[in-house]
Structure 1
């Protein structure tokens, strides 16, 4: 017989932290609930590998908890008792166990936060939310830091975080190395050396899991490749990945973090974002490992600072932006862009070599690094006038590490500038020159990287100048775009008109590019 009082504790698919205080002791009166549900596979069109990786990691945590003596109720996607929605399943399990209390960890996505808060409020038994014990800031901390400020500058937030958490600071609160930001040292192209480190990630065969997912009718896209999933399925694996990055990737990460290359999809990136965003790893331990590497002389300061900025600065900052602007942030569309995604976003079949590679890699691996996402796919999407909410949903679905709290601000704010500058200080767009400088994508491309006009001119060129022409009233006063507009206004009227005509023709046939 179950205990007379039983508490159900819900664990979501991005709450896979075995070190949470919930698990400090095994209690007979607590049942942990994990569930694979269509509610979560279907709310956006997801990459197959993302679904597989999250479900595999959930199952691994369930096995670990059971092995440590915890009571676990796990609902698989093909379980006949699975009602495929979180509230319906909790209702059934509360009745099944005669539970007298329901608890859940703070969700990171607004839709789940709203759903579970409403659900808990309507329960006939107490429903309580506890912290996830993961982030270094509270949901509203960024909003409090920026109170009264006209613009939310990430750099200001990042410096505050460095001081509050004592990261890369010396006596008197001075930044290590005498400056807060070494971004100017982190922009080298990669030409083949030093070699890309060996991939330390272990391949897993999740074919049986994939068969069960397919059998329930879950619709997905991308290459499933269920027999070679490399994303960690537990904390132990994630720690091995962290150590491999610190040893082999971090020393060169700074120099080449903005580089792109067809023969080296990972380069020196950590590949830890899935483990971080599912909470297998805590940001504090990742930051500490990186800082220790610098203090031990293993990695240069500009590499360590650039890496830590992504976690302590950017990751916490975009979460603050998200919670301060929900609901409704995803509906921003300051430029009024309405063009749907071309079909080749779903199969990678485009003559633009940079887009073919970045999208193809995304479809193959459910991953692309931040410059591919921002300066290739996002760059084209903004210049071509793609509808930002569609771009957001594609990013949210395709990337294994994409959860709405981190992906939406990165896409709507940083990539598409659809919020009009709330998050980013300028649109992050470029012509072919930047892409050629930072990658090998232009070599052997169907299009001519130097041409603006003509059938084989690189689409990025005309689209770039036309974007700034069309949006001059909104953007020409931006101090960070002064050089762009000076160069634009140096063009004669005929050249500017020709760019506009070329861009309009390109936008009319995006599916053929």
Structure 2
């Protein structure tokens, strides 16, 4: 058996041909290894569209590599469950017993759990795993740590300014283009009573035979997983990802800034780009995405507030959460600032609830595996926070149910920003709100049985009731945050009868919502 000088592992979210894994690759001595394993769809019960997206994209990338004559060992899942490997650990261990490997390397995974598995496996085989930097990202290795060393807390706004200054993105003569670092004041619009009007939808990516075969495989292996495959329409190749980006830049970027937070009935996508899954699988590079948006501004095809708002999500937030993830893992996954212990409400897997905002937001997740950032943060995430859901439980739901979920991006957004389980490492205050916020940013309340302006009556919106109950329960803890001073001041005006009425309504809601 010919020895493999270097075995290079390619994971399912590392599908970029310009990866460091290909540097100095010698097809006469080296080999590539990819594996589909059950655990990546079962350690959380992955939405069928999420599983199909990963597996189809992996197989398309493998076809590309084989077309370039790369020596590739590819382990594919089978409909015969007994023939499948449970994890990367078991798949790689088996491979290493069958082949002589001198060196082994991988680009830094997007999941701490996977990195530990690979290290343990290599150690057992007497090999040291070489972890290569992931140059898909704009942040340089060690850059965030050096930046953090000069600060008391990691505030995203200053991190994105740092990256813009270093890279020159949206900068001219050392100053931010447009005269300001951000344009949030112009980016909080809603659609009013008339709604969004005609929004040009993105391209259709009809499943080819390869993707169809993966769909049948997922249906067979994971029949009980929540979500459906009927509306699968995600890019699975670099070419499709580029088409999705081009379409967004042309048709929806100009209005993205103004309406990025807005919601509407049965409109899951609106002005959003739908390229987060492509970015997270590395089918397209963030720098290419940013340059396309910048070019649209310079050519007069999109206003600065839209372009800056979009670029901040890619250059700022995306880079920020990845750096924070590796800075704070593995401790982050166990933090629980508010001591929340309640299980997830069942309707998160069915969408069956009388709250129209959650019907809409969860229903589209089941249908498409997608929701934009405000639906995640201020509807599904906010309710989980107010319900005092165990942070690990809601984290696992997000990781399972969204097609773009990779742990490095999902865990900080959920445990940090959404649930404030880290006590403020990531966000300067908990994202708490009553039903009034949802009423402002969507029409959902107009068709709902609940009233967001009420907190104690039988018609009181659960968001509003639970919001005030949360403030009552955690008043001492919240008082330590100066940004919570205003709502806590309002709470001081509540007399004892009103507090008792609130507690009674909370008890009613917990019974109501569990009985649907």
TM bin (shorter chain): over 0.9
**Residue 127 and residue 490 in structure 1: after superposition, are their counterparts in 2 closer, same or farther (change >3 A)?**
closer
Deviation of residue 112 (structure 1)?
1.2
* Cα displacement string for residues 105-141 of structure 1 (whole angstroms, at most 9, x for unaligned residues): 2112111122222333343356422223211124653
* Cα displacement string for residues 324-383 of structure 1 (whole angstroms, at most 9, x for unaligned residues): 111121111111111101111110100000011101111111110000000001111111
Structure 1: distance between partners of 2:20 and 2:112: 24
**Residue 69 and residue 296 in structure 1: after superposition, are their counterparts in 2 closer, same or farther (change >3 A)?**
same
Structure 1: distance between partners of 2:506 and 2:142: 42
- Aligned Cα RMSD in Å? 2.1
The question of whether the paired residues in 2 share the 8 Å contact of 1:139 and 1:320 is answered with no
The corresponding residue for 2:293 is 290
Structure 1: distance between partners of 2:333 and 2:469: 25
Q: TM-score w.r.t. structure 2 length?
A: 0.93
1:64-75 equivalences under 5 Å are 64-75=64-75
Unaligned 5+ runs, structure 1:
none
Partner SS, residue 33 of structure 2: strand
1:354-433 equivalences under 5 Å are 354-433=357-436
Structure 1: distance between partners of 2:502 and 2:49: 40
The corresponding residue for 2:159 is 157
After the TM superposition, which segments of 4 or more aligned residues of structure 1 sit over 6 Å from their partners? none
The question of whether the paired residues in 2 share the 8 Å contact of 1:8 and 1:94 is answered with no
1:177-188 equivalences under 5 Å are 177-188=178-189
Structure 1: distance between partners of 2:129 and 2:467: 52
The question of whether the paired residues in 1 share the 8 Å contact of 2:38 and 2:84 is answered with no
* Cα displacement string for residues 469-509 of structure 1 (whole angstroms, at most 9, x for unaligned residues): 22111113423223212222233343233223322432354
Structure 1: distance between partners of 2:241 and 2:93: 34
Aligned residues: 509
The corresponding residue for 1:17 is 16
Structure 1: distance between partners of 2:87 and 2:253: 41
Deviation of residue 82 (structure 1)?
4.2
Structure 1: distance between partners of 2:142 and 2:345: 37
The question of whether the paired residues in 1 share the 8 Å contact of 2:456 and 2:465 is answered with yes
Structure 1: distance between partners of 2:165 and 2:197: 34
Is 1:170–2:172 an aligned residue pair?
Answer: yes
1:88-103 equivalences under 5 Å are 88-103=90-105
Is 1:136–2:138 an aligned residue pair?
Answer: yes
1:333-352 equivalences under 5 Å are 333-352=336-355
1:224 to 209, 225, 229: 229
Structure 1: distance between partners of 2:507 and 2:321: 34
Deviation of residue 219 (structure 1)?
5.1
Q: TM-score w.r.t. structure 1 length?
A: 0.94
The question of whether the paired residues in 1 share the 8 Å contact of 2:104 and 2:127 is answered with yes
Deviation of residue 243 (structure 1)?
0.6
Structure 2: distance between partners of 1:89 and 1:386: 35
Structure 2: distance between partners of 1:456 and 1:67: 62
Structure 2: distance between partners of 1:365 and 1:8: 36
Deviation of residue 16 (structure 1)?
0.7
Unaligned 5+ runs, structure 2:
none
Deviation of residue 21 (structure 1)?
4.6
Structure 2: distance between partners of 1:170 and 1:181: 15
Partner SS, residue 442 of structure 1: helix
